[in-house]
Structure 1
Amino acid sequence: MPTPTSSLAANATPRSPVLQAGVRSVAVLVETDTSSGCSVIRGIANYAETHGDWHLLIDPRDHEQRSALPDGWTGAGVIARLSTRLQLEQIAARRMPVVNVDDLYDDLTGAPSVVTDEEELGRMALAHLLDRGFRHFAYFAPPSHQYSKKRGEAFREIVKEAGYECIEYKPGYRAGRILSWAEQQQRASRWLSSLPRPVAVLTVQAHQARQLAEICHFTGVRVPDDVAILAGDADDLMCEVSTPPLSNINVASEKIGHDAAELLDRIIAGEPAPKEPIRIPPRGVTSRQSTDLLAIDDSMIVDALRFIRKHACRGIVVDDILRDIPISRRTLEIQFRHYLGRSPAKEIRRVQLERAQELLGKPELSITEVGLACGFSNATRFGVAFKKENERTPQAFRKNLLSGQKINTGSF
């Protein structure tokens, strides 16, 4: 991706905010026609509502429907997905502070960024897929100017560090080239046919995950039996209506918006902008049918894992597995360590705490209710186990998880 050469007035003093009856005007150059864009805007609005009188100019467009500041608009600052040179030139000309919420460009002088932590996203994706027994990995991101290469670069490096290979989709054309639907299908289908089976594929975004699932459907590739698909961001509609429904990484778009607004507020107040991007880790993985496969060639271990996933939150122990699966404790232990690198007891605990992380995102549930729902006998045992694995208490995890979101009910 080319690096913009224009500077965003790094040495200029930001224009004093223009206030009208105590209201601060902030432009939000973030698209409203995507799920992630709407979530970022929601986070910005949550901050604006609770930390001052802001008027948000949402997703202004020019006569060609491109994201752009209106002629004559003056305000306190801008929060933007900086993805075009026009945006850079406009904001530089206005000499007002800006916070970027995209990582499309590598070097934006004078534009601090709040973006997804791509390394943590890659680690979450790999952990999710390894837990299902996959040992072959690929990354699908057709060439485009709409997203950066950082997600794929991070995932490939993390897979490599774990001792595996990640095969990238390289269709042989540059970003911006227009291909017919049939040609896109043919190129992706040829790539899929070259991959080892079973293979787990991380896609750059949910749209590309759905595209890949459709190609698999039309070419007779079974999902997830042959190809498991994990979407690299959250779009509930896109993921839920796909066939099969798609697992996805829960990118913290709302928190990105909230923290970007908070950063802009500090810069307007005179604080220096951070030199390094602020990186926000994803909230976790939502598992659906597209990765619901245990790619393990031992049927008893597969049965044991399915038993754990079905019953872990009922407070089961290893003896419960042995009563259901005709296998010795020693063999069970050896095979679990061989396939998963951990004991059956640790797998039970992992499933319980994975569910706990999900439920902690529901503010209507108390910490005690979350612990009981995940198979712990009381809140104390839950808190000790959770902190041991996550290095923070359930309360601290929930506070970070829900920061940037508007909470109306529930107890912390």
Structure 2
Amino acid sequence: MVTARLTAGERWQELASDLFVPLQVTGDGPAPRVRVDYESAADVSYSRVRSTRGEVVRAEELIDSVDSEVALFSLQLRGSGHVAQQGRTTVVRPAEGVLYLADAPYRLTFPSEVDILVVRVPTPALGLSMDRLRQAVAVPLHTSRAGTLGLLARVVGSSLAGRGLLSSPAETARVSAELLREVLAHHSGAPSRSRSPAALRADVRARILRSVADPGLRVSTLADAAGVSERTVHAAFAEVGSSPAAEIRRTRLERSRRLLETTSLSIVEIALACGFSDPTSYTRAFRRQWQLTPAAHRGLESSHPPPTR
């Protein structure tokens, strides 16, 4: 992942043009504050942009054939934005997404500080006609069928935060394009497709994270929530040499380790917070995984405090 922190309008315009498509950018006065986290693989990229208020313009004179077959999709995390393209102007609020295409002028206006995720995808990779894509331009899109838009946000956001639901930026890029296609197809009424094993793994992992404290979490529950059979879930994880049960166990243990390192909760409280039925089974599982007990791990961490600055 690449991270950039900028306080000069010219540098932000240069970076934005490199990451997305050639743009004109105005910031909040002479010194905009911008942070960009960025990853890419093949022709797909995804970014998190935190910025002071400003405006981004894709002017007619900046458009050429090199980057005309590009779709950009913004997911609003914080703040609101105004998107104008093809004679439509819309307000995009937190938990909403919006599509804009690089082959026509557009304007993005942010009246206050914003935090957004941006996915950049070649339009052919979306598998939808340009007519269908244009139907979705500058239209606020909410969480769609099966929470696809929310899953897209979690897939991209977790990867940029270093806790990816998928194994690599390349897999994240592929699944991001797939989920974006699903969001746009649902909006335009195009036929839906079955999710790939990678997208299903991301979906199941996200559901495990949300339900990790539930001691009754079962593979059947996860499969039902994802709208597939248990066999399909098992096959998706077998593809990467794992299983959904192993994924549940790993998530519980990793969550417990973070709690040991960052809180003063007791071992019993941590065991229950991570879905273990009792502290004995938790301690046994923790020792199998890391060859020491939870208490010993906490003691080891406390004996090596982080350096002071």
Q: With structure 1 as the length reference, what TM-score do the two structures score?
A: 0.34
* Larger relative contact order (Cα-Cα within 8 Å, sequence gap ≥ 6): 1
Larger Rg: 1
Q: With structure 2 as the length reference, what TM-score do the two structures score?
A: 0.43
Greater strand proportion:
2
